[in-house]
Amino acid sequence: MIKKIGVLTSGGDAPGMNAAIRAVVRTGINLGLEVYGIYDGFKGLYEGKIERLFRKSVSEKINQGGTFLGTARLKEFANPEIREVAIENLQEYGIDALVCIGGDGTYHGAWALDKMGIKCIGIPGTIDNDISGTDFTIGFDTALNTVVDAVDKLRDTSSSHRRCSIIEVMGRNCGAIAIWTGISVGAEVVACKETGYNEDEIVETIRNASKSKRHAIVIVTEHLTDVDKLAELITANTQFEARATVLGHIQRGGKPTPKDRVLASVMGVKAVEELVNGNNGCAICQVDNKLVPIPFEQALKTKRDQVTEFYKAFKQLW
């Protein structure tokens, strides 16, 4: 029977992670467990940065962005010797199970630890919404709101100056932020990994728009192209002057939206309940509005490409 659990956040932070930690701590205590916070993700686990958490430790946290436990990316965690040290640290505190909040890298770390005997359960926390086992990840809704707010502001100035705004958004492996934003703002172009990058087509679309519109919006995901060069190309080949804006890490900060706070809270509760009921080696996923535990392997492998489906709808909205 589990008596002590740990909780950590790992990988890129996401708004709502604090709400998830709070839910894990309070549910754990309510179910008679001791709960320990692990600082700075798997890196902190390896370094033994572990501290007991109490109900009060998570007061005033639900509305805060970031993660008060801190986070890190530790590639070396793929090395079993590094994980052995992490396990020894957990054993020192008598911690039998871990709730790991993060994206696919976090799930791989948690899955590897689970196979080595530490009962692990995952909660999807990443702004990218790129864990295919779950309909939504914690942080996506807040990031989307941040991006849409920024693009709405850029539209004002673009329209005043008769310009084309190119906005680079996050999501190197998944265009969810890009396509949801593109639909939300009525963009002319969305380009991401799933849609591919066709420069001639983009210029042609903007050239046509520049004949009759006062502004145009192009949403591009990071690492797809040099957005300043694309701006030069559009300026040279259309009736618009173009400007590029890279939103960068601003997308990861800010107060979580109510949707992210609620998703984080209910997932946190479910994760602890599942652990107590003897379920581990899995991640909490939202599937068709229900929370279900899905084995790590399946949660990572499931093929669900909503971006391509939504892109087809986006094209009908022109």
* Catalytic annotation, pick one of 40, 96, 128, 135: 128
C-alpha span between 170 and 249 (Å, rounded): 8
Judge whether 128 counts as a catalytic residue: yes
Near ligand F6P by CB under 6 A, which window of 111-119, 164-172, 202-210, 294-302?
A: 164-172
Please give the Cα distance from 101 to 68 (Å, whole number): 13
Cα atoms in the Cβ-side hemisphere of radius 13 Å centred on 245: 19
Q: What are the DSSP E strand ranges found in 2-156?
A: 4-9, 34-38, 50-53, 97-102, 119-124
Closer to ligand F6P by Cβ: residue 15 or 28:
15
Binding of ligand F6P by 43 (CB under 6 A)? no
What is the pairing mode between strands 50-53 and 97-102?
unpaired
Look up residue 232 and give its two tokens: 């030069």
Site for ligand F6P in 106-135 (CB under 6 A): 126-128
Stretch of 106-114, 165-173, 196-204, 207-215 lying at the interface with ligand F6P (CB under 6 A): 165-173
Q: Is 303 exposed, middle or buried (0-12, 13-18, 19+ CB in 10 A)?
A: exposed
Site for ligand F6P (CB under 6 A): which residue of 43, 215, 252, 270?
252
Q: Which of residues 1-20 bind ligand F6P (CB under 6 A)?
A: 11-12
Nearer to ligand F6P, 161 or 193 (CB): 193
* List 170, 189, 192, 275, residue binding ligand F6P (CB under 6 A): 170
Within 13 Å of residue 305, how many CA atoms lie on the same side as its CB? 9
Closest contact distance (angstroms) between CB of 215 and ligand F6P is 26
Active site residues: 128
Binding site for ligand F6P (CB under 6 A): 11-12, 73, 126-128, 170-172, 222, 252
